[in-house]
Structure 1
Amino acid sequence: MEPEAGPSTGESMQPEPGPSTSKSMEPEAGPSTSESMEPEAGPSTGESKKRRRRRNIFQPQQGSDKIPFTSPTTKRRKTVISSGERSIIINVFKYVTKTKPEDKYMSNHDLVKLTSEMCGVHERSVYNVLNEYRDIHKITEPERKRDRPSVIQKIDNLDKSAIRRIVHSFFLKGELPTLKKIQQAVNDDESLPTLSMTSLRRIMKHLKFKYTKRNRKSVLIDRGDIVSWRIKYLKQIKQFREENRRIFYTDETWVNAGHTVGKTWVDENIKSAKQAFKEGLSIGAKNPVSKGKRLIVVHVGNEEGFLDDCKWVFEAKKTGDYHENMDAPHFEKWFGKVLTKMQPGDVIVLDNASYHSRREERTPTMQWRKGDIQGWLRSKNILYDDKYVKKELMDLVNPVKEKYQSYVIDEMAKKKT
């Protein structure tokens, strides 16, 4: 029943040590192509993949002979240690204590140091966690720090309203409010809290104040008399339009001799002046050397266009505001030329520039000398007492003042009609 020591081609109950092509009840130790009743000793396909996947994380990366887990331990961020992290620290310390070498003495400090290195936590934090666990025998959840209230939350709405009024008080006095001025005013008020510059800046932004470029159009702070004039103008212009009158508008502006547009078309294919010369092209539009002389332009027109032969252009003599180059005598001379182009019933709209509003006769004000006010009253046949002071004389002037306030432009227009 036992096989011979030599090779055989017959069937056998046990395999020979060497390779064979015969059928057998048990698999051979080596590779074989014969069928078998039991699977090979190796892992199945699913288990093999899992093991390979686990082994890969401990194998060096492709092109490198280093394992990534040999790098130094990553330090933990400085934040509150959670209960889960505390549990890990305690378990690591227990493991280090249990597995310490018997032939080598390790103090508690050495064990804590080793735990610190393994967990990536500072030694002081490990001590704190272990001491707490030793005292109360349980792992606690750390207390969360309460959020500090901001300066905006500390100040109530009443104080915020007071700070807003302080800012607007500078506007009402004609001053420009700065953070330094506002801070001084707020800190001087005993009913308001003392604020630093940073806190005040945050409150200003919270109150919707914005540090930006000044806007000359102060529509929101119109005076009452300006609002009244505007309403009167709108009513009159509406009436003139209902009467189908021709309405003309006149104004002044300025332009520099070197004035040009800010944008233009540029050929990006031209890279140099040499290339433009070879191809017979240009390098683009040339910028003016300077702004040049300033010209003042005055005209009059309406929706149908400008009025013929009424353009007035002259060179400015002053470099400041272009209004400084205008004066009443020259404007009135040009306005007389415009009136020759007008028809009966036409309306001309002007703004309130000083050279548009020269009065035919000056009327007294409190800045006048007392003798001048008395002379004006005599010229109007208004009686007064020589013992009157200036205030009493002005009380006689004010009731009749409007009667004698006429403008040169208005009188010129009346004569035309």
Structure 2
Amino acid sequence: MHQASVLAPVHADKSYLFAYQPILDRNRTVVAQEFLYRRQRESGAQIDCPTEATATVIINAFAQYGTSEFLKRRKAFVNVGEDMLLSDMITLLPRSQVVIELLETSPISRELVDRCHKLKAMGFSFALDDFVGVDYYEPLLDVVDIVKVDLLQMAPEQLAATVRRLKRWPVQLLAEKVETVDDFERCKALGFDLFQGYHFARPAPVVGKRADPAKLAVLDLLGKINRDLDDQQLEKAFKENVGLYLNLLRLVNSAAFASQAKITSIRHAITILGRRQLTRWLQLLLFTLEDKGEHPSALFEAAARRGRFMELLMEGLAGFASCKKDQAYMAGVLSMADALLLEPMDKLVAKLCLADEVSLALTDRQGLLGKLLQLCCALETADFDAVDDLALQLRVAPDDVTKAQDQALAWVCQLGYAATG
């Protein structure tokens, strides 16, 4: 049977939930995404055919809702089982974008090793998932590009010894389950190049350390807008901070915002565009200041994605005014502000004079916005059972969750390139 006839019905299948987990480099910028997936509960959580499941991931991730655009400047890590690896279907993957993750459940046979060498010659890249030791994986270390090491599975002494042994091969080391700044710094010192975990999204207050004054100035401006101060006071605040003034003009004038006219002054921005859009730009500007890298920062991506995702889901809920969509967007973006500004969320909320619904979502994850925020977090951690439960409570169809998620990713792609371009 021709491969296209096999793939066509899989593309039409919408019975999978997806999670996209970022992979960071030593500068804490996102350089890749790992795709995780599971069949929706009503179809059964068990994936009966690994080949079909992987094909579903590939086709939906690269073709649906513009996600392929999101990956143009980064790699996509995709879990591939033995059946998929040995099938001709594997050659349909975009080899310049994909890193094939070899699962620990795949036995290391001569057939598997030979197949990897052939695919490597065709331009594919490989990563070893759940690395358990050099002796077991040695037959593959000449062909793989990346070795993923789970920090929770190795004591510090064992981790250091494993890194020393792996230096015999030209592989990049990826640390998984990096949960704290200390984990990140320790792995950097050992020679790890890539990192996966949630340390970047968690506040890590350091004694004597203060957030960037420019970011604090943005926070102050957001508070002033929420307190409904007049335009003259807002303009004065911008003019007193030249760096903030220039950054805002650059972001406002970017193509990603599709403004109808080029903004030439802060007064112009306030008058023509209105406070609603100005507030949104300020929220995102918090996460783009001093971002010099080729890729947008991990915090920027997470904050922007959460905001857009929650706004899209709110649009699909009947009976809510447009102000609720703005509140959903605000709650999503500001949910990462504590990690950015190194300050407890309750103190930040007090400074911003937010609506009660937004405050409750940010501090206690309560109310409708709180549930939407919980849904964001569940997707980020690939907690698909929680996604199912929360979607049911919110009366949101799982297909709508997937659609909003992918649309938010595509939007962040456009926005991020404008913010760092």
- What's the TM-score once normalised by structure 1's chain length? 0.22
The structure whose residues are more often helix, as a share, is 2
Structure exhibiting the larger radius of gyration computed from Cα positions? 1
The structure whose residues are more often strand, as a share, is 2
Q: More relative contact order in 1 or in 2 (CA 8 Å, sep 6+)?
A: 2
- What's the TM-score once normalised by structure 2's chain length? 0.22
